[in-house]
Amino acid sequence: MTSRKRKLLNTTFPAISFDKILLFHKARTEKGISAFECSFLLGKHDFFIRDAENPFKSTLIDPEDSVHLSKVLSLRECNPETNKFDLYKLEVEEHKIDRKKTKRIIIIKNDGADLNPIEMIVEGKEEELETSLFLSTYEKVQSYFRELIENGYFDSTRTALEIFNTFRNHHEFGPNFHPRFLIQNIRYFLNKKSGEPILDNSRTNLFSRRLFFKPLDFKIESDKGAISESFTAIGINTFQQANKWVSDLDYNRNHDKNNVLTLFEEQCGTCSTKHALLKRLADENGNESIKLILGIFTMNSKNTPKIKDVLAKYDLKYIPEAHNYLRNHNHILDFTGIGVNETKFELDLLEEVEIGPDQITDYKVQYHKEFLSRWIETNKIPYTLDKLWKIREECIAALART
């Protein structure tokens, strides 16, 4: 393989971070797991590892990523040995091998450092490395993948590493299973053009790792109850269609929360009435996995920008607010229609409790006020409960304004 172009560059790089990169690079190339495959299993963007291995990029492998990567590569240790250097002075020679490939030859130029050159090949996204690990076949991997789907495995959200470990723990694949055909199958079940788009990967977890799950959906049977009949009467025949219809309704309080059909009559709703309706719809159609939740979260100017001026007016960083939403297995479903990011919302949750659709009125208010009373006392808030409730009402009014 003859190099075509040569370029000599110099840079500095944190020594511990560079040693960590070398540790993982050596392990993954020995096992034949590409930079793209490692990035995918970390739940990061496609070029995360390739960027981390580039001394001219600022991408670093943080402690959380290190632990995950060590699990991917079956390493017992995810940290390199310490040395006397804080920063490495690197001399990087880049050779353009062909249109897609570059070879880097790196020398650590610090006095007293090992001057042996380090070679790295910059891989293309879809490049496959030779491996001694067990690949199995695309068809066998897909067969077990379909079995997982059918058995409800993806009703809960799963990280790529979690799926990979499920395969490694299966007797047919084992601990030396290579992720190549698994990744290809995950992408197949996401692909809307040339695959079977059964899975969804639109969410990340609290650590910004991509999640894979099967979105909940079912056919609405019109004879199951008044709510089912009301949805089918307006041409809505699936749960996902109902979710969108509810989410698209204006955010406004209803005159009668006890009227189970109030959203159809008033064409608006709040988190309470919207999710109570969807919970009742799920119950009518026999879907017991859907739970209606009452959560208390820190409503602030970051997660709810429309209330920024109200909080500033009363010198409050946040107000504990009661919010209703759905849970399906291990993830939140929010169809309030005001731009709630479910993953970020979980970071702001203080506590939550499962409730019934008939508890969105008096019970919710009482639960919320009891929490606020404790919060005022614990945090020495300079307002009475009545005054704080009025401030909260101002926040709700601000939310309703377009």
| pLDDT above 60: residue 316 | yes
**Residue 225, pLDDT score:** 95
Helix (H, G, I), strand (E, B) or coil at 206: coil
> Which of these, 241, 213, 196, lies nearest to 327 by C-alpha position?
213
| pLDDT above 60: residue 30 | yes
By the 8 A CB rule, do 181 and 132 touch? no
Token pair for residue 210? 């991509």
**Residue 343, pLDDT score:** 73
**Residue 4, pLDDT score:** 58
Mean pLDDT of 188-194: 93
User: How would residue 77 be classed by pLDDT, with cut points 50, 70 and 90?
Assistant: confident
By the 8 A CB rule, do 246 and 239 touch? no
User: How would residue 394 be classed by pLDDT, with cut points 50, 70 and 90?
Assistant: very high
pLDDT above 90 as % of the chain: 79
Token pair for residue 258? 């006890």
By the 8 A CB rule, do 105 and 93 touch? yes
**Residue 402, pLDDT score:** 60
User: How would residue 314 be classed by pLDDT, with cut points 50, 70 and 90?
Assistant: very high
Contacts of 134 (CB under 8 A, 6+ apart): 173, 174, 176, 177, 178
Q: How far apart are the C-alpha atoms of 342 and 331, rounded to whole Å?
A: 8
> Which of these, 351, 365, 292, 347, lies nearest to 324 by C-alpha position?
292
Dump pLDDT digits (tens) for 149-166: 999 999 999 999 999 999
Report the range of poorest mean pLDDT among 111-120, 312-321, 349-358.
111-120
Dump pLDDT digits (tens) for 81-118: 888 899 999 999 988 887 778 899 999 999 988 889 99
**Residue 345, pLDDT score:** 83
| pLDDT above 90: residue 253 | no
User: How would residue 5 be classed by pLDDT, with cut points 50, 70 and 90?
Assistant: low
CATH number of 5-122: 1.10.260.40
- The residue ranking higher by pLDDT, 137 or 79, is 137
* DSSP class of 146: H
Pairing between strand 87-96 and 5-14? antiparallel
Q: How far apart are the C-alpha atoms of 7 and 95, rounded to whole Å?
A: 7
> Which of these, 344, 334, 155, lies nearest to 246 by C-alpha position?
334
* DSSP class of 113: S
